[in-house]
Amino acid sequence: MSTDERDTIAPEAESTIDTAATAESTGTTNRRQPFPQGFLDTISTGWAERPESAPPQRAQAPYAAARRAAVSAAFPGKRVVVPAGGLKQRSNDTDYPFRAHSAFAHLTGWAADAVPDSVLVFDPTADGHAVTLYLRERADRTTAEFYADAAIGEFWIGPRPSLAGVADDLGIATAHVDTFAASDGDLVVDEDDDLTRFVSELRLLKDPYEIAQMQLAVDTTARGFDDIVADLPRIIDTPRGERAIEGVFHLRARTDGNGEGYDTIAASGPHACYLHWTRNDGAVVPGDLVLIDAGVEVDSLYTADITRTLPVSGSFSPIQRAIYDTVLEAADAAFAIARPGVKFRALHEAAMEVIAQRVAEWGFLPVTAQEALDADRGGHHRRYMVHGTSHHLGIDVHDCAQARREMYYDGELEPGMVFTIEPGLYFQIDDLTVPEEYRGIGVRIEDDVLMTENGPVNLSAAIPRTADEVEAWIAAGGRRA
């Protein structure tokens, strides 16, 4: 069922003749059928009572309140507007699944169940801000929208929350979105640089609720990887086995979470050398490696971001293992220096020292490893690993992306930060700078890391990492030791 009916709203159920005519004459599709008189006379009657009880306040509500307090303190006297965003067209009369703007979800605690077109508003007061969440009231059985508006009518999309229910749930005053009026002086996320930067930097340090959600996302993702390994025989037999991997993971992501935090990369053989391979239309062939980069987004919208590279036949060849072990060595080098007070960029530098040293030893560089590592005149080794080693992670897969450089790449690691460590090596199928036996091999190992006062904690450590562990995992059919 499409949502093209949203533009045809019967304004008053009581005006039954006019309503039927309106529904027929103003529709945007030739599939539109008029509402007959008998339907209009009876559609709002004969329903059982459905009393709405106040929901318990959700666990993230006090944390979201603290985040709103930080925004209020940072913008005294300013009206701050944070829209949730609306539905986006996929094609013709179909939309993409709705996901609220990350800043909106972070500041309200309203996540997978947020209502499109809602707006969070901070109105300045003498001692701070009055915060109101504007949303569209439910189109229940007492309204003509109930049956005539496919975008918001409960006949079409199911029950929506009431203003009072959302207020109790989130601990925020609510009002109908029709009463919201924008002003020329508003500071709006994604329109005002200072506000956008602030709400991005606000997510650099995760609170206890967020950390628990990150671990939940990682644990759910781990089960998705187990599913893939368990299903490898069928995946191999499927002509487009990469699609089968994507489908297996999607089932877990939708069953145990909200979905994927980003498009799954299922890259077998030479496809593993394309960093963002999401076409996923290739075969998964024994003898090749398959690189899987995937993360479950849980209902709170926090996402994992994990990569594992698997030998399709169950065992690494000597060259595959040498490449894999080098990538693991680079990852472990980044882990080894990760401590509070260390520059974030130092993680990348530690990993790249290993990469440069090993590809130089293999004879792939026209210069020494030290020359390649020269910040101004080097970089030769980056041919085989062009991406960075780490990024912040949270409610966005590339979280805090609008933070200032001095707070992010040049900033110091602090307890509460969650980030990836993900070095790789990629020797493309047509790269004549490496021997033929290396071409078409791509390896990445990516883990999700929490920084604590005592150092890094690998949230994804339960997913096999070493070559021996990966081979044992495949031999056990996806059962982890």
169 and 253 part of one domain: no
The reported pLDDT for the residue numbered 29 is 59
pTM score over 0.75: yes
Instruction: Kindly tell me if the per-residue pLDDT of 23 is higher than 50.
Output: no
Q: Of residues 48 and 31, which shows the higher confidence score? A: 48
pLDDT in tens, 423-450: 999 999 999 999 999 999 999 999 999 9
362 and 431 part of one domain: yes
User: How far is the C-alpha of 360 from the C-alpha of 433, rounded, in Å?
Assistant: 12
378 and 393 part of one domain: yes
The reported pLDDT for the residue numbered 142 is 82
Tell me if 48 is assigned to some domain: no
Tell me if 119 is assigned to some domain: yes
Strand 187-188 and strand 80-83: pairing?
parallel
Q: How confident is the model at residue 187 (pLDDT cuts 50, 70, 90)?
A: very high
Tell me if 143 is assigned to some domain: yes
Count structural domains, the chain.
3
Q: How confident is the model at residue 256 (pLDDT cuts 50, 70, 90)?
A: very high
169 and 38 part of one domain: no
Strands (E) across 182-280 are located at: 187-188, 259-260, 265-268
* Nearest C-alpha neighbor of 444 from the set 373, 390, 400, 403: 390
pLDDT in tens, 333-342: 999 999 999 9
User: How far is the C-alpha of 311 from the C-alpha of 467, rounded, in Å?
Assistant: 9
228 and 335 part of one domain: yes
Strand 259-260 and strand 289-294: pairing?
unpaired
Q: How confident is the model at residue 183 (pLDDT cuts 50, 70, 90)?
A: very high
Q: How far is CA 276 from CA 229, 267, 279, 293, 443, in A?
A: 21, 9, 9, 9, 13
Tell me what the pLDDT averaged over the chain comes to. Answer: 93
User: How far is the C-alpha of 168 from the C-alpha of 58, rounded, in Å?
Assistant: 9
Tell me if 54 is assigned to some domain: no
Tell me if 56 is assigned to some domain: no
Instruction: Kindly tell me if the per-residue pLDDT of 298 is higher than 50.
Output: yes
Contact criterion met (CB below 8 Å) for 459 and 218: yes
Question: Which structural domain range is residue 150 located in?
Answer: 61-201
Last residue of a domain, one of 184, 201, 218: 201
6-20, 154-168, 427-441: which has the highest mean pLDDT? 427-441
Q: How confident is the model at residue 481 (pLDDT cuts 50, 70, 90)?
A: confident
Q: What is the mean pLDDT of residues 154-171?
A: 92
Q: How confident is the model at residue 151 (pLDDT cuts 50, 70, 90)?
A: confident
